[in-house]
Amino acid sequence: MNLTPEERVEILERQLHDQGHVDPDTIDAHITAIEEATEDGTGPSTALGAKVVARAWNDPQFRARLLDDAVAAVAEYASQAVPLAVLADTEAVHHVIVCTLCSCYPSGLLGNPPAWYKSFEYRSRVVREPRAVLAEFGMELPEDMALHVHDSTAEQRYLVLPMRPAGTQGWSEERLAALVTRDSMVGTGWPLSH
Amino acid sequence: MSTRRAIDEIVTLRAVDGVHDLGGMHGFGAVPIETGEPLFHAPWEGRVWALLGAVMPATTIDRFRWTIEQMPPAEYLTSGYYARWLWAIERLANEQGLLTGSAEPAPIARPKPSSRPATARWQRGERVRVLNRVSAGHTRVPRYLRRHVGTVERAAFSWPPPAESAATGRYGNAEVVYTVAFAAADVFGPDHDHTLTADLGESDLEDSVT
């Protein structure tokens, strides 16, 4: 019996509904809620992560708290179910994150991971040949910049704090947040420059 | 389509060294980077995502991961992310009795993200070796780091060991988890100049005398 995943999930949902464990309307509501929260940044999403990064660029005290105890620092944006560590990029070192064993991602802040983050290609290769993988994302690292690859092997999640783009002195948090891309918080991209 | 479908029991190999442990493997091609990616690529993926909520209250994330890791290797490598979730949710629903009865299993207690451990066996800068603990059960030590010596960056947090949480579906007593840095040159050869870090439990490490 070779059923498609679509057919299997329909059967599973019906079985769970028959026994009173799930309600299709509740399932619909959950899906709608995550779609909306992802879209408008009210829940964990790229937009929410960008707010945190932009604030860290503008507020040295917040940045210090974020690097010291990220779970506490981001609590006003989103409560975290697991530990969170923030990795600050500098002129000397660039950070990139991966989960080689499954697909652990800072979902409590950034929402669901993109398909490439969950791909066998990314998971197998970025720990071994990170510069080649980053080149596929259009990133060329300066020769003298150290590269640190962080494998999320336990419950701690990672977020990269990219360097603030040059020429943005005096910008508001809102304007800065528009420069922060999802990939720049994973380490596979730089923030936008303008 | 019938409303009943028998879910195969997991073949009790209790595999640890599974194909899911992909770090450092050769043979995979270019990273499939998608622009304008939707949250779900098909409506059924969203339903799988939401149905995880039916089985998670009564089990641990480690048992969910371990269940996915029991997929036959060829099936794992030809299934997408949410198809692998579905495979595990079917089996967890079955083992919790959700497919054949209306009794709700009791929710389990969950650990909270802790601050830095107050005491730790190893401190920043100390050298530790990753144990080659090949045993039945579940591990979060990737193959590519086993037996390697690294440097402790910090005692990062405390969390229940994943082998126990996977085996029992309950969280046990926490242990200290360390962020350990490794030179990629040691792990993958001299033409690699990057640094690797992983988060490893105290029970997966030993003193290094080198």
CATH number assigned to the domain comprising residue B197 = 2.30.30.50
**Which residues constitute the domain of residue B1?**
1-25+40-107
Enumerate the residues of chain B whose CB falls inside 8 A of the CB of residue A129: 192
State whether residue A88 sits within 8 Å of chain B by CB: no
Which residue among B107, B138, B158 closes a domain?
B107
d(CA A130, CA A13): 40
User: Is the domain of B140 the same as that of B191?
Assistant: yes
Q: Inter-chain contact A83–B90, Cβ cutoff 8 Å?
A: no
pLDDT at B106 over 90: yes
SS3 annotation, A2-56: CCCHHHHHHHHHHHHHHCCCCCHHHHHHHHHHHHHHHHHCCCCCHHHHHHHHHHH
Task: Summarize pLDDT for B18-35 with one digit per residue, the tens.
Answer: 899 999 999 999 999 999
CA distance B152 to chain A (A): 14
A 10 A CB-CB count for A68 gives 12
Residues of A recognised as catalytic: 99, 102-104
Residue B72 lies in a domain: yes
User: Is the domain of B100 the same as that of B131?
Assistant: no
Residue B101 lies in a domain: yes
Residue B113 lies in a domain: no
User: Is the domain of B147 the same as that of B92?
Assistant: no
Closest B-chain CA to A79: B113
User: Is the domain of B7 the same as that of B85?
Assistant: yes
The answer to whether residues B204 and B138 touch, using CB atoms and an 8 Å cutoff, is no
State whether residue A67 sits within 8 Å of chain B by CB: no
| Angle between helix B81-95 and helix B61-69 axes, rounded to 10 deg | 110
Residue B188 lies in a domain: yes
Task: Summarize pLDDT for A97-144 with one digit per residue, the tens.
Answer: 999 999 999 999 999 999 999 999 999 999 999 999 999 999 999 989
Residue B122 lies in a domain: no
User: Is the domain of B80 the same as that of B156?
Assistant: no
Amino acid B15: pLDDT: 59
User: Is the domain of B102 the same as that of B174?
Assistant: no
Q: B200 Cβ partners below 8 Å, 6+ apart? A: A153, A154, B130, B140, B141, B145, B177, B178, B180
Amino acid B2: pLDDT: 45
pLDDT at B11 over 90: no
The answer to whether residues A87 and A158 touch, using CB atoms and an 8 Å cutoff, is yes
User: Is the domain of B102 the same as that of B132?
Assistant: no
User: Is the domain of B4 the same as that of B81?
Assistant: yes
Enumerate the residues of chain B whose CB falls inside 8 A of the CB of residue A31: 40, 46-47, 49-50
The superfamily CATH assigns to domain A46-186 is Nitrile hydratase alpha /Thiocyanate hydrolase gamma (3.90.330.10)
User: Is the domain of B58 the same as that of B150?
Assistant: no
Q: Inter-chain contact A156–B177, Cβ cutoff 8 Å?
A: yes
Confidence of residue B171 (pLDDT cuts 50, 70, 90): very high
Residue B116 lies in a domain: no
CA distance A124 to chain B (A): 4
Which residue among B55, B74, B107 closes a domain?
B107
How large is the ipTM?
A: 0.96
Q: Inter-chain contact A124–B26, Cβ cutoff 8 Å?
A: yes
d(CA A136, CA B33): 9
Task: Summarize pLDDT for A151-167 with one digit per residue, the tens.
Answer: 999 999 999 999 999 99
**In chain B, how many domains are there?**
2
Which positions 179-208 of B are in contact with A (Cβ < 8 Å)? 179, 181, 184, 188, 192-201
Q: Inter-chain contact A34–B49, Cβ cutoff 8 Å?
A: yes
Residue B117 lies in a domain: no
Amino acid B1: pLDDT: 43
User: Is the domain of B1 the same as that of B65?
Assistant: yes
For residue A36, count CB atoms less than 10 angstroms from its CB and return exposed for 0-12, middle for 13-18, buried for 19 or more: exposed
Closest A-chain CA to B189: A128
User: Is the domain of B131 the same as that of B103?
Assistant: no
Enumerate the residues of chain B whose CB falls inside 8 A of the CB of residue A33: none
* CATH code for position B9: 1.10.472.20
Enumerate the residues of chain B whose CB falls inside 8 A of the CB of residue A5: 44, 48, 80, 82-83, 86
pLDDT at B6 over 70: no
Does the pTM of the predicted model rise above 0.90?
Answer: yes
Q: What is the mean pLDDT of residues B162-169?
A: 94
Residue B97 lies in a domain: yes
Enumerate the residues of chain B whose CB falls inside 8 A of the CB of residue A121: 28-32
User: Is the domain of B85 the same as that of B164?
Assistant: no
B30, B110, B196: residue with CB nearest A127: B196
